Structure 1
Amino acid sequence: MIRLLKLLLLVPLLAGMLAAVGGLWWLQQPLPLAASEQKPLLVTIAPGSSAQTVADTLTSAGVNAPSALLYAWFRFSGQARDIKAGTYEIAPDTTPRTLLSKLVRGEQALRSVTLLEGWNIRQVLQAVRSSPDLTQDIEGMSHNDIMALIGYPGRHPEGRFFPDTYRVVTRAPASSVLKQAAQAMEQRLTQVWEQRDGASPLRTPDEALILASIVEKETGLESDRRRVASVFSNRLRIGMRLQTDPAVIYGLGERFDGNLRRVDLESDTRYNTYTRAGLPPTPIAMPGMASLLAAVRPVESNAIYFVSRGDGSSQFSATLEEHNAAVQRYILRR
């Protein structure tokens, strides 16, 4: 009888031990995912979700584990209330233990969106609108509406976004990338304006942004940027027209077919710096940091002309005679 009692007491103990061992084993095993190709699952946990709702959301999204078992694990861990809302990527090798750790730490799925130096607003919006990782909340919106949405109502969008790679949560609104880029450009512009040369002819940060965009389009050679900026600064200082082809091309918009003709240079538009003095009314592209700095701190020189050497660099001249000789050498004799 005593032996029977001992055995009866031992059975639940053994069962408990087996359950504990089984539980520890399960916590270390990859969770099976519903996707036949075993690709990562994207799961969005809504704000305010209870532990049970989180477990149900996971199983509904394709995590092949009993919802009750996931819920029990969340509760048993003592971290059920620490799970954070967001969009998460669950890889095929994710275990219950690493899953909970991801949810508690808020390690959301991130994606990169890159905006390149020298892009114009059409290219910027195309990149953002075509990203499969973003939720499109700017589709069909005008430039004015987009700028208002991201907190810059009434501001022209050209050149207002800093070229960089932005990391955003998967399925984030497209406008969130634009807002980050606009804030980044505003911060960079403030920084470089504080470093401007006291002799600069530029009167406002916006003028610095416009000149920087011209410098960005006129050369891709790092060592030439400050010298190119010097030419345009010198021209502004003496009232000479800038005569920069990229501004004329920008004014042509989609009409530009890759061939800039004499008639284009002679046709007056707001962006034709051959027919109008001073800076164009807006930037013509997104300048990078090097071009921003060049615009406010050009090298000291007396050059008012430059011409491409054909290898990416430029020849700078202080007189028309020198410039004509450079044109003869580098353009006409190619």
Structure 2
Amino acid sequence: MRFILKLFFAICLLAAGLAGGLWWWSGQPLPLASSPADFRIAPGSSLRSAIGQMREAGLDVPVVPLVLLARAGRSDTGIKAGSYSVARGVTPRQLLDKLVRGQVTQGDATLVEGWTFRQWRARLDAHPDLVHDSRGMSEAQIIERLGLPVASLEGWQFPDTYLFDKRSSDLDLIARAARAMQRRLDAEWTQRAAGLPYRNPGEALAMASIVEKETGRPDDRPLIAAVFVNRLRLGMRLQTDPTVIYGLGQSFDGNLRKQDLLTDTPYNTYTRAGLPPTPIAMPGQAALRAALNPAASDALYFVARGDGSSEFSRTLDEHNRAVDRFQRGKM
């Protein structure tokens, strides 16, 4: 009986010693190969797998002590996937708390209103916090890979600032921006004005992209949209420079010439009637709303005043006088 009691007390002392040692170790700084150390925990990872991923990133984390510490705190199954960053001085206890709380590090990327898909893709390609899975893929391959119901990604990415876990795939951001645009367009389409000359939401998106490129002034967007809607209704050509510039592609040098307006391309709205075959940029919320709820106006023309706003006219004579005043300096 005494032997059993002695053994029991010995085991208790040993357990207390181990527990004390484990608690002491949990408060000691972990050795880092570099500071800060960045690592990513993949979704579905067990704690042991997560430790392996941390060790690969340069954190010298012993497997057994951290597993025992997590089990003691009943947190061994509660770690969150995502990207993390820890600095020199971090202790195992702090590291485990960060993993359980899901205190991930985030990157961000901003898609600016009026950008083309080529500009957005260049931004993603150069982003240091993304995994560039789309590199080398054509636009058609990206669409197929993501299973998107569109023929072109132009216009189908909603301008916004997107937050993401560092080391996320750039394809994830493209998919998120596409879903965001689809949601916004669907919402505006259901609240559109009656009698608009669009056969489907894609045509409305093309109009919104033109409105986006024609003005950055919020008050003018519904009036700009009204001009182009009125022209479509009358069968007039849209005659808008941004579509011509888009059709020129990378050959455009910043100077739009008369010859460019006369050269036919699928996007030249001086030579072709109707809307361009695709959007020409990524329109924001205000441009979407303007295209689907244009102002009540019978204007058919507009010209820039030189201060960011536009002068609107109902007749060609009025428009020519406005051009003389605001473009040629004639009163």
What TM-score, normalized by structure 1, do the two folds share?
Answer: 0.88
Q: Is structure 2 residue 148 aligned with structure 1 residue 152?
A: yes
**Counterpart position of 1:142:** 138
Equivalent-residue separation in structure 2 for 1:203 and 1:56 (angstroms): 55
Distance 1:162 1:93, change over 3 A: farther
2:222 match: 226
Q: Residue 120 in 1 paired to residue 108 in 2? A: no
Equivalent-residue separation in structure 2 for 1:47 and 1:298 (angstroms): 46
Distance 1:214 1:93 in 2: 54
Give the conservation status (yes or no) of the 8 Å contact 1:307–1:315. yes
Alignment of 1:1-334 (within 5 A): 23-35=22-34, 38-39=35-36, 41-46=37-42, 49-92=45-88, 94-152=90-148, 155-333=151-329
Within 2, Cα distance between the matches of 1:233 and 1:45?
51
Tell me by how many angstroms 1:28 deviates.
4.2
Percent sequence identity is 51
Amino acid at match of 2:319: H
CA RMSD of aligned residues (A): 2.6
CA 48–315 in structure 1, closer or farther in 2 if over 3 Å, else same: closer
Question: 1:240 Cα shift?
Answer: 1.2
Structure 1: unaligned runs, 5 residues or longer: 1-8
Once residues 242 and 158 of structure 1 are traced to their aligned partners in structure 2, the CA distance between those partners, rounded to angstroms, is 20
- Show CA shifts across 1:112-155 (max 9, x none): 12111101111111111221211111111111111111112551
The 1-side partners of 2:227 and 2:137 are apart by: 39
CA-to-aligned-CA distance 1:303-325 (integer Å, 9 cap, x gap): 11100011111111111111111
2:5 matched residue in structure 1 = none
CA contact (8 A) 1:138 1:175 kept: yes
CA distance in 1, matches of 2:203, 2:82: 41
Alpha-carbon distance change, 327 to 292 in structure 1, aligned in 2, over 3 angstroms: same
**Structure-1 separation of matches of 2:170 and 2:154:** 17
Count residues with an aligned counterpart.
324
DSSP 3-state at the match of 2:327: helix
CA contact (8 A) 2:227 2:300 kept: yes
Secondary structure at the counterpart of residue 82 of structure 1:
coil
Q: Which moved more, 1:49-58 or 1:247-256?
A: 49-58
Shift of 1:215: 0.3
So what's the TM-score if we normalise by structure 2? 0.89
Whether the 8 Å contact between 2:40 and 2:167 is mirrored in structure 1 is no
